[in-house]
Structure 1
């Protein structure tokens, strides 16, 4: 370890400094930045990635990464005692950091309920269990209330437009796909081999969704559907926007967007 540090011209921290709860945290993904603030550790964040923009005060912190790369020199200059990151996207890039002995907390929530587990894990790691557990309990209570209110199956097929062009949707473990299922509707892209499949226009026309959602705040992203007035969603004016900053991030704020999805499905339900 010390030889590696000397060769790289870096400062290594002795293991004894990690005996207490981490106080200098670098967050390399937006959802973890939000979670740290949620559980009361926002003041410990010393640097972030360039996409961390919520809550607004985090924008003043130094940025040491983007979605493609991590500036290891800038990261190490902050002398972190913990780095938090997204496992599937960043574990390879962080291998040198782990080799230096700097602890890394990896996040990989698989569904809405697992987010509460991650909040509790972070709380335990940071000696913030009371506040983290309270936030996790409140999150699960809201999630269960949404399921109870909207979860009954409905005869509504939904196409979720992640972006266009190319026409891309969601399936499987993608959170928008899980939201559609949670709200009791049928996802047109169910059965796709990847979470974010490219979808042929013909497939959408054949499925004739009753509701088309788009992860965007720009109404223009849905205008191309007006070329297909025979679609039930177009005919019945069931084209809706969903806040992507909420639904596409693994944070408690995602439930705001889940409620948007559920309300849109309820409005499109012919039985209502």
Structure 2
């Protein structure tokens, strides 16, 4: 398999607290053959146009989010190896390959005909392409539309174009239905605080996570932080108490007990009403098909808070 590339944009991945937020995914390039499952196909990744000459049958994924997308769009049987953190779905062929410090020799040992990854800080794409291994660089989604676009793009690139389109549409419809039911019942106006870890790092509405909460019309107390720190500010206990959120979401094990046990938080509405919810750390930081599960967790927490 050969790959032809025209570089039209530089990748500027940003490594943030517990989640990588890179440049948004580009829309798939228009290519007549991609709509029929025939090859070659041309798609656009973060660096430019990529032409994939033949249907890939030995794919390596070095990103948990992209691994989940590949399986969702019907390319699971084509995946021969994934990175050490790609633990979903269960049938994913997890290895000790690293997505953060990838080793070109270890990757080449699997004889891949396509490698997908979200970070190129070590110039791994250039190294792989010198070995004539096609690469797709798809940074972490910055907004929901990026997730949908990546699903369609990976469907095209793997010969599963229709499945990619269908998967994106089904995800969109599921999320819309969840949000509509809650919003119609009047969720807007509730305030929340999302805690990434016990050091009180949070997220603003500019992050992917924050945009999910924004779908429901929730008010993010972290948006009032003096230093937004690229969307992941470290708040003080005094600030959180003063903002008095109606809901607190934690995305680390044991977080609920930690929050409820803090004497300083005793007067916070969310603590008093036991509206402190643990959301799955993987689901809330992997912006692929399971983002709908995260939306569902938020919806359930809102419904519980409204019933208090």
C-alpha root-mean-square deviation of aligned residues, in Å?
A: 2.4
Bigger helix fraction: 1
Corresponding residue for 2:252?
216
Corresponding residue for 1:107?
138
- Between the aligned partners of 1:238 and 1:51, the Cα distance in structure 2 is 30
Structure 2 runs not aligned, ≥5 long: 5-39, 41-51
Report the number of matched residues: 255
What is the TM-score when the length of structure 2 is the normalising length? 0.75
5 Å-filtered alignment, 1:108-257, equals: 108=139, 109-151=141-183, 154-164=188-198, 166-190=199-223, 192-218=228-254, 219-257=256-294
Runs of 4+ in structure 1 over 6 Å off? none
Structure 1 runs not aligned, ≥5 long: 1-12
- Between the aligned partners of 2:249 and 2:2, the Cα distance in structure 1 is 51
Corresponding residue for 1:8?
none
Cα displacement (A) at 1:85 = 0.7
Structure with the larger RCO, 1 or 2 (CA within 8 Å, 6+ apart): 2
Cα displacement (A) at 1:130 = 1.6
Which secondary structure state, in structure 1, belongs to the residue aligned with residue 197 of structure 2? coil
Native 8 Å contact 2:83 2:98 kept in 1: yes
What is the TM-score when the length of structure 1 is the normalising length? 0.84
Corresponding residue for 1:95?
126
Native 8 Å contact 1:46 1:62 kept in 2: no
